[in-house]
Amino acid sequence: MEVDLHIHTIASDGTFTPEEVILEAKRRGLKALAITDHDTVDGIEEAKKKAQEIGIEFVQGIEISCNTQDYEVHILGYFLNLEDKKFMNELEELKKARDNRNLKIVEKLKACGIDADLEEIAKMAPGKIISRLHFANYLVEKGAVLSKEEAFDKYLGKRGRAYIPKENFPPERAVKMLSENGAFVSLAHPKLVVNNDGIIENMISNLVKVGLNGIEAQYGTFSPSDIKKYKKMAKRHSLLVTGGSNFHGANREGVNIGDTGITYSQFRLIKERNAGGKL
């Protein structure tokens, strides 16, 4: 693929630095990419600088973690305006909510007989964001589980013994906040939200009302029939298609930058739709 619009760095739960991401994207022949760390923009300046140095188009992005009813929903934002103080303040509130959630996860793990130490877990997170993936790595290192998959199955996933839902942050709020920032807004990997077309279709209808611009229809684990289905959904709602690898480095094995994404002609449509956005 020519453009990868879903990449994570050490600023959240990836294992590549922003600079390493840019260099790898260039090595793999990409024409453009976005860094979309979870709930943070901390890696953007480093990536932007390197992208300008080596001549690859760079999009300032983010992936905001949301929840609605029993579903985890992720919202992607592109062409962010980092001079927007209201937006930056909202990101700080998201970080505080994540910190509170992490404290509750620690308490639940302790109730399960696992002596989790948040300071030790923080050392496994090079950036300011401590995610459940860092908890999973910690549980593997301590021998509480044999793999990250087991960590999520037994403790950290929705049905896990130490699961704590995200504090109330509906996707409508994320879409609105990104739209007000001037960003292009896309629903990330819809099939991973719920494999129910009716629920997704209804969710998309509601999100369009507050500023949704696209659907991540081209995603690594989607089958050709999935991609076709979500492309049709996008067309029905007058939305554009986004796509990306969801690269996390060593934290998501078997996935490389550019494995999945969109063509440059698709990317051009996004740029045209987001006329106020800046690379």
Instruction: Convert the pLDDT of each residue in 185-203 to its tens digit.
Output: 999 999 999 989 999 999 9
The pLDDT of residue 277 is above 70: no
Quickly state the pLDDT bin for 136 (edges 50, 70, 90).
very high
Is the whole model's pTM more than 0.75, yes or no?
Answer: yes
Quickly state the pLDDT bin for 275 (edges 50, 70, 90).
low
Mean pLDDT of the residues in the chain:
92
Mean pLDDT of 61-84: 92
- Measured CA to CA in angstroms, residue 177 lies from 5, 97, 110, 144, 182 at distances of 19, 16, 36, 39, 9
Residue 16 in tokens = 């590549």
The pLDDT of residue 14 is above 60: yes
DSSP 262: B
pLDDT for 29-66, tens place per residue?
Answer: 999 999 999 999 999 999 999 999 999 999 999 999 99
pLDDT for 222-245, tens place per residue?
Answer: 999 999 999 999 999 999 999 999
- Kindly report the CATH number that applies to the domain delimited by 3-85+183-273: 3.20.20.140
Rounded Cα distance between 186 and 215, Å, is: 5
**Strands of 184-187's sheet, edge to edge?**
3-4, 32-35, 57-68, 71-78, 184-187, 214-219, 240-244
% of the chain with per-residue pLDDT over 90: 73
Q: Which residues of 104-123 are buried (b: 16+ CB within 10 A; e: fewer)?
A: ebbebbeeeebebeeeebee
pLDDT at 274: 79
pLDDT at 27: 95
pLDDT for 159-170, tens place per residue?
Answer: 899 998 877 789
Quickly state the pLDDT bin for 83 (edges 50, 70, 90).
very high
pLDDT at 130: 85
pLDDT at 13: 87
The pLDDT of residue 111 is above 90: yes
pLDDT higher at 71 or 23: 23
Cα 262 to chain center, whole Å?
Answer: 17
Per domain, the residue ranges of the chain are: 3-85+183-273
Mean pLDDT of 244-256: 89
Mean pLDDT of 84-90: 94
Q: 121, 130 in Cβ contact below 8 A?
A: yes
Quickly state the pLDDT bin for 173 (edges 50, 70, 90).
very high
Quickly state the pLDDT bin for 125 (edges 50, 70, 90).
confident
Rounded Cα distance between 43 and 126, Å, is: 11
